[in-house]
Chains A and B, each alone.
Chain A
Amino acid sequence: MVKPTLADTVAAPAHLEDKLYRKALYYYFTGDFGEALNQINLNRQRFNSHSSRSRLFEAGLQVTVGLHHQATESLKALQIEQTGAMVNNVDESKSNTSPKELRLIALLQLAEQQIQQGDTNTAKQTLSQITEISNPYNDQYQILNQLAYWPELPIQSATASEEFHDDKSSERQYFSDAYIKLNQALLHMEQGDFELAKPKLTAIKNTLWLPPSKTFWHLLFNPFSDENEEGLSEKTNDEKIQQQAVNDYAQLLLAQMYVKQERYEAAYYELKDFPQDSPYTESALFIFAFSAQKIKQYTMSLKLFNVIKERFPYSNLGWQASLLLAGQVVDQMSLEEGMTSYQNSERLYKQRITELDNFHQMFLTTDDLLTFSPKKENFLLTVTKPAISAQLTMPFFTNNVYSTDSVWLQKALLDNELQADFQTLVELDLITSHLNGQQQKNQWLKDTLTLNSKRKTKVFEAQQQANYRAIIAQLSDKKQSIANIVANAESELQGDVFASQEQEEWLERIKASKQAISSIDGNRNIEEYQNRLKRVEGVLTWQLQQSFPERLWQHKKLLKEIDQLLLQAKQQRNRFAVLKDSSLLLSDLAERIENSATGIEAQLVNVAKLREKTSNKIQKNVRQFVDNQRLVLEAHLLTSRHEMAAVLESMAKFDKRIEKQLAPNLLNKETL
């Protein structure tokens, strides 16, 4: 029997909807997002279960697995539905989240998706529909609002909801405030309004920022959320890292602003206590060294430039540091030492250019870009995929970021677009592996169906040979005759009803003897015969009466058994009829298997095409990266050579000056 499908089902009752939703939740909490999404889809298809809560959950899962456009569509539909639910005052008692809150979440997530897709105008419209905002969502709203209206000032359409108002919240400083202020400060700096940027950056630098409270929905829609994986201590650690990073970034921006204003001393003192293990150490170190040089802290700047050169040999700042260092050596030490320093720089750039060309050559000749110097764990991720998964789970969603051992590729991967393209390759490989698994599974189902069909055909043939009508008629006759015997026995209670063949023969002989005796009656003395006959008849009747109950019971039992046989024969006949019809079901299954096979084939082709396109794009972007890097290096090389020429010129001038100073003496000698 086929299960009901969408077409012939009614909406699942609330309790069932809740259970089906919780089935999907189990997969989500165990980190199997693909399976959770699959479950939500199954709930809808099998049981017509699609509450607002499920839809929002589905949209969140779609975001998690990278289906942003689909999530946008789901959220749009949900937002419309929730607006209707609010107007009609519909309360989904099965959900802990009210229609009002669900609508708010849907609008916020929709706006976020629209911003991510670059559709800021629509995001503005979406955000303008929010009129009331509650505490757990205020941070998200403020950030989205700023991003949607950037670089203009955002329009606040929403007011704080009294329902969720928390007096203490206004005193707290959350990360979201820090990010909003950072963005504002950046804008001020870009516009040259340094006086406006400074107080903001100083405040960010000196404030202890708190992580905002997060609901289940916040975590669901954040594909990078590690809430489910990490322990509390690691979460706290992440918050500390964020706190430090926000403060450091503000400090760095302040220093950068001072440099732009040519206030090198201020920049120098700003970065004097900058932490060494910050993600911004490289930039901070460079600005610090540069400022030190500008304010004539030469010993310090010399050391710092050397450190930068050694610690960041492939970074643009490291390359610049080399030139600045050489320049300082020329100024502070001697021309010869300066010359050596410039020569070192020249050697460095030439070496880098050669390495860059080698990298490019090797990269160009690599067919599968993921095999180009991958990190060991990445290699395992992409190569040792299971040939077929035991269940049809979806292992093609990964949060593992692609990384490589190649320093040049590492540098190229700082570009988000290129990183995303590599990630696409990883995902496409996982999809291919998954599709191969599906293909094998489909083939297995096909084989199972073939076996099933063969078995049914055999049963069908065997059943066809059996003449059910004759069997049933025969059994019915038998049943009738026994039923008659039993009825007769029960009404007459005569033992001879159940007489055996031998007993019947005896009864016949007795009857015949009686007739014979009556025919000779009067001619002979028959009294003795009659007495003997009566004795025999009496014994026989006694025997029959004695066995009557047992034989009656046996007949009744036989009747029951025949009845059972008759029922089985009829059931068999009916099953046979169903079997005839089930061939239609098998053909339906066969068709579905064929469709799946075609679908899998088509997707494998699509994946291969997309992989090729992505690889070409990566090659193009890497070529561009290499060209840019070469330009930078050649520019540095050229500068170093110009500077060397200048140093040589200075050395020549110096030599001439010496020569001139020595010349009169020489002349005097010659005269003497």
Chain B
Amino acid sequence: MNMNIYSSSVLTRVNKSLVLSISILLLSLVMSVNSFANEPDSSKTNGTLSTELEDIKKQVLKLNRDLFILEEDLLFPASTQVAVFVSVDVGRFFKVDSVELKINDKNVAGFLYTERQRKALEKGGIQQVYLGNLKEGKHQLTAIFTGFDGEGRSTKRAVTHQFEKDDDVVMIELKVEDNESSYRANVRVEEWVL
């Protein structure tokens, strides 16, 4: 019997989930690096291709960023830009389900959260829920959150905030915060100081 045939087969038939996460993969990598030493062409080609792919990805990322900034400069210049964010602190007393935003009594944005998006907020993420343009002057923002309280009952929280738009970007964060003393969540508004 040819031992080499099945022993190599043993090495290649490692469970995928195992392979991806454990050191055996790294070990085989190191081994493959050694075996590649005997095949300089293959290793070289492989390295070049992966480097080229990385370069392309890098360039595409850069293009993406430039285009994003360009778009923002053109469509949302600082003199008119208003951005609204949502964050959740803990989220034990209020599980966010949706948010509706009004500026000067006009609906401007609405967002329905998936489980994953809600968890992302509870883990500390801040979500940009609205980006728009407003003229200089005084404005009113109204946010209505719907969700579930600690006992799973459907509940709502709303907040109104007056703000003034000047020549700089206005960034407003709606913070859904647990209140330990009242066992309920409140929405607090914070304007970012740039």
Contacts and interface: CB of A to CB of B under 8 A. Distances in A.
A104 interface: no
A438 B71 contact: no
Interface in A212-260: 222, 224, 228-229, 238, 241-242, 245-246, 249, 252-253, 256, 259-260
A146 to B, nearest CB: 7
A339 interface: no
Contact of B49 (A38, A150, A424): A424
Nearest to A3: B78
Contacts of A34: 61, 64
Interface string A296-339: 00000000000000000001110010001000000000000000
B57 A65 contact: yes
B179 interface: no
Contacts of B49: 421, 424, 610, 613-614, 617
Contact of A1 (B27, B29, B167): B167
A42 B33 CA distance: 37
* Among B23, B59, B127: residue with most chain A CB under 10 A: B23
A45 B27 contact: no
Interface of A: 1-3, 13, 15-16, 19, 22-23, 25-31, 34, 37-38, 41-42, 45-47, 65-70, 112, 115-116, 118, 120, 143, 146-147, 150, 175-176, 179-180, 182-183, 186, 222, 224, 228-229, 238, 241-242, 245-246, 249, 252-253, 256, 259-260, 279-280, 282-283, 286-287, 290, 315-317, 320, 324, 392, 394, 396, 401, 414, 416-417, 420-421, 424, 427-428, 431, 434-435, 438, 441-442, 445, 448-449, 452, 589, 592-593, 595-596, 599-600, 602-603, 606-607, 610, 613-614, 617
Contact of A13 (B7, B117, B193): B193
A16 B85 CA distance: 13
Interface string B11-35: 0111111101111101111101100
Contacts of B124: 22, 25
What band does the interface of chain B fall in when counting residues whose beta carbon is under 8 Å from A? 35 or more
A392 B23 CA distance: 36
B121 interface: yes
Given A120-B33, A279-B15, 10 more contacts: A2-B77, A3-B73, A3-B77, A41-B61, A45-B65, A66-B54, A246-B18, A280-B13, A286-B6, A420-B46
A438 B1 contact: no
B38 interface: no
Secondary structure class of chain A's binding surface, majority of residues: helix
A241 B18 contact: yes
Contact of A25 (B46, B51, B62, B123): B123
Given A66-B57, A179-B23, A228 B18 contact: no
B107 interface: no
B3 A606 contact: no
Contacts of A118: 29-30, 33, 36
B79 interface: yes
B120 to A, nearest CB: 3
A421 B47 CA distance: 11
